[in-house]
Structure 1
């Protein structure tokens, strides 16, 4: 007795409504990221105040994030596919995966470079173009960043350690599940990103420690000068008004404390957003097995390409001024046409 052929069993995939949620968020990221990063690049090009050595790295960061955002629509196409295949030729999916990994690595490396340059300039009290802080040297750093990022993210798949392609379960262009060495590649990439996180946090921690120590020395010197330089005068004044000395000194101490609070707050914001975007997704990627959290982890990772213009743009007064000037200049012609 012949048995009827069994229908092929379909491979499991993430529920479509989860894909729609992630695709919708990525669409928003695409619009905001392209707008914000392009605004940062255009601001540096058109504003003389922003043509600094450090902003060469900021532009490189914005360019890498723009590249990541510009390829998100191709990821959205894969997420919304219900056929189990990538709706565009799969070579495009492989390119999207390669560009995505490269841009993320470049973004992380650029953040490390920005932290290093800020630490170098602040701790050595450098003003102007000195030492490493020259356009030529920073341009070399940018070239090294892109070369290393391309090598680290693309050479392993080219050697067979993982394969770029369409991961059907997630609906994403990433490392294909058909290659048994894909997990080795994921571990390697996770190590690279976590190393970038540690280095970035180290440089910002060194900056914070240096500033706090500098402020403490200034505070101590101010107190010593007040105690030795005007001890006799203060004694006479305190006889008449004991609170005069304390009142004259308190505004300076309060100003220093406020400065420490603002520095701590800004570094804390940078650290927290960096940790949220990279650590959460990286830890999830190195855990064996497929899970729903991975696709949401990818969404969080891509949020880094959106928040960077906010951290390095909107928190900077010169960028704020440039943003207002550019946006207002575009708005005025539209108002004239409407009138």
Structure 2
């Protein structure tokens, strides 16, 4: 995903000069990409399997978590090809494969950003909407489907632009030894700015405003709840428990967003501000791709439902034995079951 150099010097006689001073310097981003791709592929496939198989995880918010995992799986699938390209001085596979790698990386990373925006808006509605009937009306299957389409549509438009116009062209970049876009002198910085503008500022603003409003609302509501007379509410303890679960879920998702922004910001800031070829952009793009492996780690360590689902996958044999019928006394057969109220399912992620 590294952008072409935009300076006049870089477009002159030194256009094909690589930013890497030695082969050892190439091995760092390449190795990091290989490791992140392997971890991310396994982790995100586990997230997808958990959501598909565990009913408690089949919630409105997890529709976007599922979509995010799909985008990250695609990223981790094509990223190793980019790692192979970095290690060589020339393209070692067909040009169409190189173009496909660039297309997929731009599309999937853009979709990942939009998924986090949808998750933030979903959490804002879920936390600040008092009536859950209103929450269900605002997030109907039709509206969710439309939101999923929106997560993919703008990145696809940006990624398709080089294929349908002469604005830019996908191919092998000898400066960064990577599969990315190639442009003429007049178009280079413009396409880089198009990617940066479509993928970053609006999404960052929505994320910031959404979680700021959630924070202010939670602080205000927590104070008012603590000041109420518990004798006036027979189910205050249950309400409080479910409310704390909502807040905990939102905190976990906010952590995902923070980590993503830390991985995302360096790349887009360098892309927009640095106008000369720099190895910093290569390392920033490696960090950006590596983020695809971080989200499953956060889920596995902080989210209780995902932890349980992942543990069940690891100990699938033991889980299969626990699902066998248990013979009860006097010939009766019973099954171990777990019950959850609809309200709990609505508040879980």
Shorter-chain TM-score range = 0.7 to 0.9
How far apart in 1 are the matches of 2:249 and 2:61? 18
8 Å contact kept, 1:204–1:267: no
Of the three residues 166, 173, 180, the one matched with 1:167 is: 173
Q: CA deviation at 1:139?
A: 2.1
Greater relative CO, 1 or 2 (CA 8 Å, sep 6+): 2
Partner residue, 1:22: 29
How far apart in 1 are the matches of 2:64 and 2:249? 21
Partner residue, 2:137: 131
- Residues 72 and 107 (structure 1), Cα distance of their counterparts in 2 relative to 1, 3 Å cut: same
8 Å contact kept, 2:101–2:179: yes
Partner residue, 1:219: 226
Q: CA deviation at 1:17?
A: 1.9
Partner residue, 1:70: 77
Partner residue, 1:244: none
1:108-187 maps to which residues of 2 (within 5 A)?
108-127=113-132, 130-155=136-161, 158-176=164-182, 178=184, 180-187=186-193
Deviations, residues 44-79 of structure 1 (Å, cap 9, x unaligned): 111111111211111100000000110012101210
Q: CA deviation at 1:270?
A: 3.4
User: How many equivalent pairs are there?
Assistant: 293
SS of residue in 2 equivalent to 1:214: helix
Q: CA deviation at 1:197?
A: 2.1
Q: CA deviation at 1:303?
A: 1.9
Q: Superposition RMSD on alpha carbons, in Å? A: 2.9
8 Å contact kept, 1:167–1:177: no
**1:280 is aligned to 2:266:** yes
SS of residue in 1 equivalent to 2:114: helix
**1:208 is aligned to 2:177:** no
8 Å contact kept, 1:40–1:313: no
How far apart in 2 are the matches of 1:9 and 1:270? 40
Partner residue, 1:192: 198
TM-score under structure 1 length normalisation: 0.78
Partner residue, 2:281: 294
**1:86 is aligned to 2:72:** no
1:241-252 maps to which residues of 2 (within 5 A)?
none
Q: Which piece of structure 1 moves more, 183-192 or 306-315? A: 306-315
Q: CA deviation at 1:172?
A: 1.1
- Residues 130 and 269 (structure 1), Cα distance of their counterparts in 2 relative to 1, 3 Å cut: closer
- Residues 313 and 55 (structure 1), Cα distance of their counterparts in 2 relative to 1, 3 Å cut: farther
Partner residue, 2:236: none
Partner residue, 1:270: 256
- Residues 262 and 62 (structure 1), Cα distance of their counterparts in 2 relative to 1, 3 Å cut: closer
Partner residue, 2:45: 38
The structure number with the bigger radius of gyration is 1
How far apart in 1 are the matches of 2:30 and 2:282? 10
How far apart in 2 are the matches of 1:19 and 1:197? 31
How far apart in 1 are the matches of 2:53 and 2:185? 47
- Residues 79 and 289 (structure 1), Cα distance of their counterparts in 2 relative to 1, 3 Å cut: same
Deviations, residues 247-286 of structure 1 (Å, cap 9, x unaligned): xxxxxxxx9xx99997896476334312211111110111
Q: Which piece of structure 1 moves more, 66-75 or 309-318? A: 309-318
Q: CA deviation at 1:112?
A: 0.4
How far apart in 1 are the matches of 2:14 and 2:111? 40
Of the three residues 289, 297, 301, the one matched with 1:310 is: 297
Partner residue, 1:101: 106
8 Å contact kept, 1:97–1:173: yes
TM-score under structure 2 length normalisation: 0.76
SS of residue in 2 equivalent to 1:131: helix
Q: Which piece of structure 1 moves more, 101-110 or 46-55? A: 46-55
Q: Which piece of structure 1 moves more, 90-99 or 159-168? A: 159-168
